[in-house]
Structure 1
Amino acid sequence: MKVPLGITTLHLSRKSALLLLLAAGLLGFGGYDYVQQSQAVNNAVAVQATITDARVDRLDGGRGIDYEPEIHYTYRYQGETYTSKQVFPSTGIRTYSDRSKAESVVESYEPGTTTRAYVSPADPDDAFLIRERTPFPLRAIAVGGVLSVIGVLAGLGAKNPGQQELRPASEGQPAPRESWVARHGATMHRLSKQLLGICFAAFWLSMVGLVLGLLNTGGFGGAPQGIQAELLGPVGLPLIAAFCFWVGMILSLCLYGVWSFTEYRQLRQRLPAPKPPSPFRHPSRLVTILGTEDGSLSEYGKRVRLTGWALLIAAGMTTALAYLLYTAG
């Protein structure tokens, strides 16, 4: 599929087109929800509401367990009586992975008490209790922006990068002075794969230990204090172990990436002239190679793909860990 874009043309595969379609959906929904929330926060008027029910609902989904603060209330606006259970001015439902955070929202709204709700004059049957925006729209816009950049880069990239055949090793240029990584490459390769396998298995074993610890302390479905265990207790120890093994997986991927990048540089010396641009200096070429099946790539392209994915996964795992530490703090 060819899509004109200013002075250039995007050559989109089916995967790239679907990626851009998903990105457009996230950007559109995120932008709509952000505008809707902003208008609701800025234009809402305060009314008196009576709480009829307040509880925390447990939601079991594919991503794990989430907790939703569900608060039912009634209110009057311009002589009419309305009911609502919306807490935030968002079209989506705001949930929490930590039960205590959901309970901290609910504890301020005891059934039978009165509180302040906010009503939009243009939509009086859609009130909310907490006058603040949720982070979901900005997250959707951020994810949509990243996906759109990836899709555009894939469309701008060369049609068949990573398929260049290599000259025989005997015809290559004189080998440069070997680096420390090149001299110890076999050891680095072996250690990185062994460390990754050990840390991966141990991480999931620590997750099993965490689940058992939560069951023993009443952390599932119980009071929030059941999760506030000692650092060296049945919950704290598996968490520490999971953190260490997660970091170990990141380090093993980085070690593999360094070794693999060294192998890539050696293979690049065997490319026939004129050599194509380096994928690690041209993101559009790298994105295209990352999305290409191994069977369509040469030895050089496969090495680029493995190197790119190792470093990309390590960066994603590091970002996820930093986000969890930030939210936990």
Structure 2
Amino acid sequence: MKISGPSGRLGIALTLVIGLASIGFGAYSYTTQSAALDSATTVEGTITSTSIEESSGRGASYTPRATFDYTYRGETYTSSKVYPGTLSKDFDTERAASAELEGYEPGTTVTVYVPTDSPGAGYLEPESTNKPFILVGVGALFVVGAGRLVLTG
């Protein structure tokens, strides 16, 4: 079975740009996630609401959201990040996403992790996600694909 991809200079350039953009955003996401985990200090906050966001693509995925208020160095902030970084951790089922919100009922006092270099990006769970690595891997596949097109085309 032959898989045909983009042909011509424009197609190759587009494939390369998509690959490089994916690698760049994956690296950026990894860096922001790591910085948020490494530089965090803790403060108390209060949960104001919770929700589950559903997104559909190749299949439905569910992202837990908990909105909370907290004060850091005299400034009050509101965040809805359960996990650090630019890419949220998501789940295959609504039930699994809901389980992540157990203990985060509105009015509950919680520990908020506050990145000292970005205090408005507080989060609740000091866990990383592998999404940045997936983006880098997909981007690398696009770059390799573009390279093969150049060599064979």
Q: Same fold (TM over 0.5)?
A: yes
Could you say which residue in structure 2 is the equivalent of 1:35?
A: 31
Aligned residue type for 1:120: P
Aligned match of 2:15: 19
Alignment of 1:108-257 (within 5 A): 108-157=103-152, 159=153
Distance 1:100 1:26 in 2: 30
CA deviation after TM superposition for structure 1 residue 147, in Å: 1.2
- Alignment partner of 2:89: what SS? coil
User: How many residues in Structure 1 have an aligned counterpart in Structure 2?
Assistant: 146
Q: Using the alignment, how far apart are the partners of 1:54 and 1:102 within structure 2?
A: 11
How far 1:62 sits from its partner (Å)?
A: 4.0
Contact 1:56 1:106 in 2 (8 A): no
In the alignment, residue 144 of structure 1 is paired with which amino acid? Answer: G
Q: Which has the bigger relative contact order, CA under 8 A and spacing at least 6?
A: 2
Give the CA deviation at 1:14. 2.2
Amino acid across the alignment from 1:117:
V
Rounded to whole Å, the distance in 1 between the matches of 2:37 and 2:124 is 11
Query: Which consecutive unaligned segments of at least 5 residues does structure 2 have?
Result: 1-7
Compute the TM-score of the two structures, normalised by the length of structure 1.
0.42
Structure 1 equivalent of residue 65 of structure 2? 70
Unaligned runs of 5+ in 1: 1-11, 160-329
**Alpha-carbon separation, structure 2, partners of 1:49 and 1:127:** 10
C-alpha deviations, 1:5-37, integer Å up to 9, x for none? xxxxxxx63222111110000000000110111
What TM-score do the two structures reach when normalised by structure 2? 0.87
Greater strand fraction, Structure 1 or Structure 2: 2
- Aligned AA for 1:57? E
Does structure 2 retain, via aligned residues, the 8 Å contact 1:55–1:70?
yes
Counterpart of 1:127 in 2: which secondary structure? coil
Residues 1:81 and 2:76 aligned together: yes
Distance 1:30 1:133 in 2: 13
More helix, by proportion = 1
Tell me, what secondary structure is at the counterpart of 1:66? strand
Match among 48, 53, 58 for residue 49 of structure 2: 53
Counterpart-to-counterpart distance in 1, 2:95 and 2:43: 28
Distance in structure 1 (CA, Å) of the matches to 2:21 and 2:120: 27
Instruction: Tell me by how many angstroms 1:90 deviates.
Output: 1.8
Alpha-carbon contact 1:27-1:144 (below 8 Å) kept: yes
Which secondary structure does the structure 1 equivalent of 2:120 belong to?
strand
